[in-house]
Structure 1
Amino acid sequence: MSKKVKVGIVQMSCTAVPSENLQKAVARIREAASKGAQIVCLQELFTSLYFCDVEDYNNFKLAEPIPGPSTDALSALAKELNVVIIASLFEKRAEGLYHNTTAVLDADGKYLGKYRKMHIPDDPAYYEKFYFTPGDLGYKVFKTKFATIGVLICWDQWYPEGARITSLMGAEVLFYPTAIGWATSQDEATNSEQYNAWQTIQRSHSVANGVHVVSVNRVGFEQNGAMKFWGGSFISNPFGRILYLAPHEDEVVHVQEIDLKQTDNYRTHWPFMRDRRIDSYQPITKRYIDED
């Protein structure tokens, strides 16, 4: 038996004008739907340039409530096209309180809820702690028309705990809207090492949990040419095999059919879930285990 679903990814570049980016995303979602997509995932913070390269109070003006204008527009589109849309947005929760959030719209246009990014980075050119309060909704799954999906966001992808918990909650596919790039001052060896680590850690989530992983990144030069977002979006099967790999430079709309029943096959033949020693995992809740 099979349970096939067609997943669409939209890898695109952005401008400084939110309305242009939303219109572009809408056009790309339409393109994905025309190719048969049933679930379409957009990249992280797709309505703007990646603004966290600087600590600038003016950037808080980019935030919006969720539900709000963008989810309203995408909800109508989801209903029209009969597709699920995964949309990463800058959420204004209250005065002075903001999150990096992904909303999920079902194929009938219903707003199913949101996931707030749990792990917030603070690195050169990625000053997200200035803007985002860590998520307080916990890990989430969404029962859409076509599949039960888990959504995590960018920096979350480096943490096996988030992938594991979301999978244990019943996610059949893990989606990672992402915004990650190379400093253009870096050498090619460093670029290659960084990208390979990024892809490898996410493919490992497929292997450890027996689920498909869909990672969607942006492309293009931003930050006055100092940052090249590396694209390289990909889809891996429940044993980490790459089913689709996007280029590093080009915008892409790709639709990939995946079979969710493969999870049962891989989990049966590679029974990592069966052999988990949950009685021994309490130390994972500690920051660090000191010898004394």
Structure 2
Amino acid sequence: MREIKVAAAQLGPIQKAESREEVVSRMLALMEEAKTAGCNLIVYPELALTTFFPRWYHENRAEADEWFEAEMPNAATQPLFDKAKEYGMGLSFGYAELTEDGHHFNTSILVDPQGKIVGKYRKIHLPGHVEYEPERTHQHLEKRYFEPGDLGFPVWRTMGGIFGMAICNDRRWPETYREMGLQGVEMIVLGFNTPSVNNLRGAEALNQRLFHHKLSVQAGAYQNSTWVIAVAKAGSEDGNHLMAGTVIVNPDGEIVAETKTEGDEIIVHACDLDDTVFGKETVFDFKRHRRIEHYGRITAQTGVILPPED
């Protein structure tokens, strides 16, 4: 048995006026709950330090830089690293990253129980649009403020297992999980900030959006025989609602824990990384069963190419 007791630390809404220090205080309170529950890993959402700022349009793109972190850790986030090290707890959280050479990424990090950053992932599947579009119920300007990630889908050996990361919209793409599955991933941690309303399809109900979210995460877990820890930021941020749906999914694709609120809340589950072995050695034994000679189209093209008409 290789057990990791995980706390999926959902955050309620973060208002536009809320400071980094205020948010970190909330994150520390959840970490304390996780410590009391005996956890050795805590996972927070995408863009955990700020409101979901891509809903706000800045004509001058540089005005959005106030939401980005130029270093990590920094003065505001150092208490997270210090407390996690004190507790002997790994952690993962997302933030907006501004690199030294001026690049902007939607980023997550993985920190080991000694307080060292052992992994960094930059979101690859950016949703949304670049310019202001008045026909939308709300703006989703990730393509305006972020560049597609440039690190691929790496995994890391740490905490006695093989860990990977993904962010929000990445969870909807099977390639995300399979890239890490082909590296033997045993636990994927991912955060998301998902609006409760589709900004181009207002009739799409919240329960349908939650269904698609869970479907994607459960399929990715099952088809790659891996644990998936999917953590939301939820509730109404300055009048814009984000859905919850924080879940812990086992390697059989089953939800084993789920939040009940739209506020700050942890769910806890003892995840045995050895539970990934059976699926990896049977149905999803990639070495025996994959037929890559027939998969060329997956990397050779992006958009759909229709067959010729009769």
Check whether TM > 0.5: yes
Q: Distance in 2 between matches of 1:187 and 1:133?
A: 27
Matched letter for residue 66 of structure 2: K
Q: Distance in 2 between matches of 1:216 and 1:35?
A: 18
Displacement after TM superposition at 1:61 (Å): 0.9
Indicate conservation of the 8 Å contact 1:71/1:103, yes or no: no
231, 235, 239: which one aligns with 2:244:
231
Q: Is 55-64 or 30-39 further displaced after alignment?
A: 55-64
Cα deviation 1:208-231 (Å, max 9, x = unaligned): 101111100012201x32x22111
Equivalent residue of 1:45, what SS?
Answer: coil
Q: Distance in 2 between matches of 1:103 and 1:170?
A: 19
Structure 2 equivalent of residue 218 of structure 1 = 233
Displacement after TM superposition at 1:263 (Å): 1.1
Structure 1 equivalent of residue 221 of structure 2 = 206
Q: Distance in 1 between matches of 2:207 and 2:218?
A: 16
Matched letter for residue 40 of structure 1: I
Verify: 1:59 aligned to 2:64, yes or no. yes
Q: Distance in 2 between matches of 1:189 and 1:120?
A: 21
Equivalent residue of 2:205, what SS?
Answer: helix
Q: Distance in 1 between matches of 2:222 and 2:198?
A: 32
Verify: 1:263 aligned to 2:265, yes or no. no
Equivalent runs, 1:135-146 vs 2, <5 Å: 135-146=149-160
Displacement after TM superposition at 1:272 (Å): 5.3
Q: Distance in 1 between matches of 2:271 and 2:54?
A: 34
Indicate conservation of the 8 Å contact 1:66/1:103, yes or no: no
Structure 2 equivalent of residue 180 of structure 1 = 194
Indicate conservation of the 8 Å contact 2:30/2:264, yes or no: no
Cα deviation 1:51-91 (Å, max 9, x = unaligned): 11022243311211243305543322221110111011110
Q: Tell me, which stretches of 5 or more residues in structure 1 are unaligned?
A: none
Structure 2 equivalent of residue 118 of structure 1 = 124
Cα deviation 1:235-265 (Å, max 9, x = unaligned): 1111111101112524311211111111112
Matched letter for residue 65 of structure 2: F
Displacement after TM superposition at 1:102 (Å): 0.6
**RMSD value over aligned CA atoms?**
2.1
Indicate conservation of the 8 Å contact 2:125/2:170, yes or no: yes
Cα deviation 1:189-218 (Å, max 9, x = unaligned): 621111101110110001110111110001
Q: Distance in 2 between matches of 1:66 and 1:153?
A: 20
TM-score between both structures, scaled by the size of structure 1: 0.91
The verdict on how the C-alpha distance between 1:206 and 1:174 changes in structure 2, with shifts beyond 3 A counting, is same
Structure 2 equivalent of residue 68 of structure 1 = 73
Q: Distance in 2 between matches of 1:171 and 1:46?
A: 24
Displacement after TM superposition at 1:41 (Å): 0.5
Equivalent residue of 1:239, what SS?
Answer: coil
TM-score between both structures, scaled by the size of structure 2: 0.86
Structure 1 equivalent of residue 133 of structure 2 = none
Structure 2 equivalent of residue 7 of structure 1 = 6
